Amino acid sequence: MKNLLDNIATPEDLRKLNQEQLPQLAKELRNFIIDIVSTKEGHLGASLGVIELTIALHYLFDTPNDLLVWDVGHQAYGHKILTGRKAVFHTNRQFKGIAGFPARKESEFDTFGVGHSSTSISAALGMAIASNLKGETEKHHIAIIGDASIASGMAFEALNHAGVSKANLLIILNDNAIGIDPSVGALKEYLTKVKTDKKLAAQNNIIKALNFDYSGPIDGHNLDKVLSELKRLKSVKGPKFLHVITTKGKGLQKAEEDQVTYHAPGKFDKISGVRIKSSENKYTKYQDVFGQTIVELAKQNDKIVAITPAMLTGSSLKLMLKEYPNRTFDVGIAEQHAVTLAGGMATQGLIPYCNIYSTFLQRAYDQVIHDVALQNLPVVFCLDRAGLVGEDGATHHGVFDLAFLRCIPNLIIFAPRNETELRNILYTAQLGLQNPIAIRYPRGYGKTIDWKKPFQKIEIGKGVSLKEGKSIAVLSVGTIADNVEEAILLSENKKEFAHFDMRFIKPLDKELLKEIFRKYKNIITIEDGVKQGGFGSSILEFAAQKHYKNKIKVLGIPDTFIEHGNVLELQNQIGLDVKSLLDIFSKT
């Protein structure tokens, strides 16, 4: 039997097939994704679960004239392969390769850039309203959203609007009961009941109550059924909702059995699905330092509670959930709710550790200001994945946090240099702080073996001297200090360089800064956040206020969105790797 996928480069090629050939194509497309991801790594389970749906959509609809919006984008690998990127799919998420998520600049088939969840309905509704205004009433607009994403506040806001619009909008709920971790909440329980209780789906239906033409739930792996229902919905005007049941990881037994791990499994054997273990790492991930430390602290302090918006595994809060299930709260993909929930807990004397990826805290900015900082509530924000995160790219880099948090009154901001510093600031935060604090730390492994030392209290607003020097002071915050130390060590003029870990971006250690400005003519600031408004900007402001005339050079993330690639490649690209710093130091 010839391979059908070999002759398909675009949806136009796909539409030349007979409907009876599509199940074979689905099998080939699954195998193609498994073959590439098994060696190149990436997200796996989500895309395997929507293969039939992806084929059906491109087979029946006139893409790219009809507009598809994929929520988050983990599930869009099949879409990318069928829309002109099969030959380059092996470069997925690699430096200078194609992006892991849909991106408008990459293809006309990627109608909306996605990376954060729950945006698809709003975007597709906006497109549909625009089509109505332009008189393009026959154009179709389709949002594919997961059940974990549809529980988000933004998705509900869009549903509320779409239900009273006359937009030609089709929302497809890809219901697999899991995001990265299993879905949670009352809506998830409702969707579970709908799958088994046809009367509930027909009568007391939440979606129907919002004025949608609801159909389903149907088996998302039955191509004939999916095609039949989509054909019917093409002729229905106004807002429509199709409920599709799928299995995340479909077609690879290991991925179906362990859906959390196989969301992004790393390298694995493409036949058996067994993961290929990388060489043992003697260091500990920052996420696990956080996870182990908060459990240790919770044993000593019964006021400690932990909150995460759908990132139990990624943040290592599963350790806390196992030990203290009644004090650990996964609120689903709901960052705004997570922050204000923490604020409410803090008013009652609890000590909430609110763990949110740096890039996702952006979604709760008003809540940080209005519900926490304005009321000076001592919430502990633990900002995971700060700085450059690698292959997930521009949607996921945590590079804006220092800049957007620094302008907020009452908020303490701390960036630990190593695992021990993270451990000690987590300890310090529950001793009775009178202010909220944001602690930002990177993704991945640290560089300290014996980090689990007895707790030591950190004095708020105090930096430390790591190395004395003669004429040049390098000021860093966070783990970028490792690159600074190595560059100084390799420098021919290492005696000229002093190195200070300022630790606190806010409040600044002004007494230490006065000594630095008095002793060193040349000052270099380094951060793995954006230069505009970040740590370096705070040093420039300090110098201006004090009328210092020292020469100050600010290094950090340039004023552009950084694409995907591993962290070392990206640091090299923007001049923050050891070699680049060494070149800069030699010219200072």
Phi, psi of 143 (to 5 degrees): -110, 125
Give which of 158, 181, 190 is closest to 69, Cα–Cα.
Answer: 158
Phi, psi of 571 (to 5 degrees): -60, -40
Strands 551-557 and 412-414 turn out to be unpaired
DSSP letter string, 62-130:
-TTTSEEEESSSTT-HHHHIIIIISTTGGGTTSTTS--SS--TTT-TT--S---SSS-HHHHHHHHHHH
Active site residues: 248, 335, 363
Measure Cα distances from 494 to 464, 465, 484, 487, 523 in Å: 19, 15, 11, 9, 15
Give which of 365, 441, 378 is closest to 406, Cα–Cα.
Answer: 365
Which residues, listed in sequence order, are joined to residue 397 by a DSSP beta bridge? none
Q: Which amino acid is at 7?
A: N
Measure Cα distances from 579 to 367, 388, 485, 488 in Å: 40, 18, 12, 10
Q: Determine the Cα angle at 328 with ends 322 and 333, to 5°.
A: 115
Rounded Cα gap, residues 534 and 277, in angstroms: 38
Sign of CA dihedral 389, 390, 392, 394: positive
Which residues, listed in sequence order, are joined to residue 141 by a DSSP beta bridge? 67, 169
Tokens linked to 60: 């029946």
Question: H or E stretch including 287?
Answer: helix 286-300
DSSP letter string, 450-494:
S--PPP-PPPTT--EEEE--SSEEEEE-GGGHHHHHHHHHH-TTG
> Residue holding tokens 């194609």?
98
Measure Cα distances from 34 to 81, 160, 345, 392 in Å: 13, 38, 44, 19
